Structure 1
């Protein structure tokens, strides 16, 4: 198995926003501008325009980094999963975040398999979506709580006896991984553990490095594999 690509978000580059609904498009534009004022947002409404912009950017040799892509799945001219796959192949360090109303397994795991770095549900509401997207600044992939729970329900199996989790993670990292896998945000985990959010974000980064993973979905799977999260 190849090592996961290290996704890096820079708030000073370009963001490609692909969303066909005007209200949702304006919401994400305004939210991203509020969270990351220096991020330059290119907003398009379908796959064709997104592909044309990416091709034009490539042909002109634009060396400004593509820091982020926010991609809807149900677009009028096709599925955003294909665009995620193309972006992952062409610019593997760029995090692609799904923003959709769909939470079914087919789309969720299809997007993750294509290279999606995060998956947020529009039904979460404005305040929750803003909080989820803000995680990018601390290196935490955005993932809606309902999606974390769906991942838990999907991967139901007993963890193998080896390797023991103590040989992989410190006791504090085990606590952090358990909370993250249960859908807690970094801020919520920090309050639970009575630590600063910056300290918890550092633990999350260390966990990702030790387990050779790059997103919250993978962290949830590893928590199940290591026996940290079980079915009630």
Structure 2
């Protein structure tokens, strides 16, 4: 039986070139392509109760979909299909989308402006246990971890509660959800978030996620 790949992309031409790239690298893989989150979720629910579940290996997911964000699907895959490599394929190359995707569970991040041959080369890395990343994304990650600010933040001590809060934020939990996990009020956790931002000299969830990843919390 063939391995399975889920492709969630609403642009027909992009669907076509991603299927072509997958077929070049994994000719024995069957690609299920859809344009909506609801269709992808329906397919996953059906697969979860079938004997083909273990054949599901890779998911290629766009972030900007007609009925929601692909991040939702990345999280669902991490929870229900942990063996699957979730690879984001997107036009977004900014820090916020990149680190949100990685913290949600994405194993790769490919930009849509790559040509078919380059996408195929990037996907080949999966065979060797390497993360499929566009070159510019790989350079961006290296650059962020080399910044003086990151080095300074490494020496900033957080309390146990602050560390726990940072880890939950990086995993995509809202303040209210993190509070529920920690058995605290949302107001208390919001206070921790404010202190964390002040201590680390950051101002966004994307920066918090990056810092959590660097500290090994996500």
TM tier relative to shorter chain: 0.5 to 0.7
- Structure having the higher helix fraction is 2
Identify the residue that residue 43 of structure 2 maps to in structure 1.
Answer: 53
Q: Distance in 2 between matches of 1:85 and 1:63?
A: 17
Unpaired runs of at least 5, structure 1: 1-10, 162-217, 226-232
Deviation track 1:155-200 (CA, whole Å, cap 9, x = no partner) reads 3233979xxxxxxxxxxxxxxxxxxxxxxxxxxxxxxxxxxxxxxx
Q: Distance in 1 between matches of 2:120 and 2:95?
A: 24
Identify the residue that residue 158 of structure 1 maps to in structure 2.
Answer: 151
Q: Distance in 2 between matches of 1:66 and 1:60?
A: 11
Q: Give TM-score, length-normalised by structure 1.
A: 0.61
Describe the SS at the equivalent of 2:113.
Answer: helix
Q: Give TM-score, length-normalised by structure 2.
A: 0.65
Identify the residue that residue 108 of structure 2 maps to in structure 1.
Answer: 118
Unpaired runs of at least 5, structure 2: 156-209
Identify the residue that residue 22 of structure 2 maps to in structure 1.
Answer: 32
Identify the residue that residue 60 of structure 2 maps to in structure 1.
Answer: 70
Describe the SS at the equivalent of 2:97.
Answer: helix
Identify the residue that residue 181 of structure 1 maps to in structure 2.
Answer: none
- Aligned-residue RMSD, C-alpha: 2.3
Change (3 A) 1:68 1:86: same
Correspondence list, 1:98-177, <5 A: 98-155=88-145, 156=147, 157-158=150-151
